[in-house]
Amino acid sequence: MKIHSLDVHIVDLPTIRPHHLAMHTIVNQTIVLACVKSEDGIEGWAEVATIGGASYAEESPEAIKFNTEKYIKPLIIGKNPANFGAISYLISQNVVGNYYAKALVEAAIIDLAAKALNIPSYELFGGQVHTSLPVAWTLASGDTGKDIEEAKECLAAKRHNIFKLKIGMGDPKKNVQHVLKIKEAVGDQASVRVDVNQAWDEVTSLYCIEALEAGGIDLIEQPLIHWNHEGMARLADRFKVPIMVDEGLGHIQGAHHIAKQRAGNVFALKVGKAGGLIATKKTAAIAEASGIPLYGGTMIESSLGTAICAQLYSTIPEIAFGTELFGPLLFKDTITTNAIEYENFEIKIPQGPGFGMTIDKEKVRHYSRDAQYSTATSHR
Ligand SMILES: [Mg+2]
């Protein structure tokens, strides 16, 4: 079997409420979809997401689409999708960086390879260890009362008992008080964690983390700018509360360096950030070999992107801090005909073939920015 075509679509999906991060507020989340087709018409689909154009990662959605079509597509046409590892290696030898674009193409090829074998994609990664995984929810309304109400609703519905607060925007001291009030309200019923999204300097981190640790907060995510490994190492050494590295963690060489320096003592995995499923699995191996616990992160992907991450995370034996794969719950609509299921505080890992999701082409067409795709498909 050979890969015959590759198409990329930029899709803007509305969210149920504004989602505040330090660098951007999401009201429409942009996702990038890829479809690779075999000569005999089998389709492999994948999704990656980034946040706020080019404000979170170096690659914007537009750059992901352009570089995939211009520089990666010629490398994969005519190749056998079963050799997806060899194809990813070939791409890495010809394209520098562009991790989200590489992750997108690799995942689409894996979906195609698994569908051709009629198996779930996780079987190509050693098989499933978990059939479900704990899933956190981000409280990001910005209002303490509303966030407490939302947390209590999630607990009552048995949907989430891990809450993350994005506290990089605004006054650090006020934000710390906001978090501590929420922790006080939920008590031992829930784990409360914070994500600073690189917004603090080391001095601010010292007094804020001290207060958060004393108030029973379980995890501090990326307090410092991504390049400040020495600062992260000092914070990880100073506090008992774990310091998680997210934006600072990208390619596997960087992961190795961070592990050696202990520039953070938990790793937030993300398939897009790492450059694909193979690289994510390698990052998990670096963490395992270094005694660093893992967390299954999200770039706020919709159902398909979430299924890709969930299937890969399901093959990793120890994900001590659970996952953040709540993306589909934040979207008003979906681009798949089936949904990701949540039950008893966990995300259920989608089953195959492929990543287990069926694309709703009408919806892709409806939300796609790509006029050519809309015109070409509407005449069918
Ligand atoms: Mg983060």
DSSP 17: E
CATH of domain 3-118+361-370: 3.30.390.10
pLDDT at 367 over 70: yes
Look at the alpha carbons of 117, 133, 224, 171 in this order and tell me if their dihedral is positive or negative.
positive
Q: Rounded to two decimals, what is the model's pTM?
A: 0.95
Q: From the CA of 143, how far away is ligand 1's center (Å)? A: 20
Q: For residue 324, how far is its CA from the centre of ligand 1 (angstroms)?
A: 10
Nearest to 264 by CA among 299, 298, 309, 295: 295
DSSP E strand stretches across 231-370: 243-245, 266-269, 294-296, 342-343, 346-348
Distance 286 CA to ligand 1 centre (A): 20
User: What's the pLDDT band for 58 if we cut at 50, 70, 90?
Assistant: confident
Q: CATH topology of 3-118+361-370 equal to that of 124-348?
A: no
Evaluate if residue 375 carries a pLDDT over 50.
Answer: no
Interstrand relation of 25-38 and 3-20 (parallel, antiparallel or unpaired): antiparallel
- What residues does each domain of the chain span? 3-118+361-370, 124-348
Region 85-102: mean pLDDT is 98
Question: DSSP labels for 117-159?
Answer: HTSBGGGGGT--S-SEEEB-EEE-SS-HHHHHHHHHHHHHTTS
Q: Is 166 a catalytic residue?
A: yes
Task: Report whether pLDDT(349) > 70.
Answer: yes
Question: Is 380's pLDDT higher than 70?
Answer: no
| Environment of ion ligand 1 (residues, CB < 5 A) | 195, 221, 246
Average pLDDT over residues 328-337: 95
Domain 124-348 belongs in CATH node 3.40.50.10880: no
Query: Which of 73, 102, 164, 166 is the catalytic position?
Result: 166
pLDDT at 371: 57
CA distance 91 to 82: 15
Between the CA of 263 and the centroid of ligand 1 the distance, in Å, is 15
Per-residue confidence (pLDDT) for residue 376, from 0 to 100 = 47
Band (pLDDT 50/70/90 cuts) for residue 51 is confident
Measured in Å, residue 56 CA sits from the centre of ligand 1 at: 10
Above 60 in pLDDT, residue 217?
Answer: yes
The pLDDT confidence band at residue 18, using thresholds 50, 70 and 90, is confident
pLDDT tens per residue, range 291-302:
999 999 999 999
49 membership: H or E segment, kind and range: strand 43-49
CA of 185 to the centre of ligand 1 (A): 24
For residue 23, pLDDT beyond 90: no
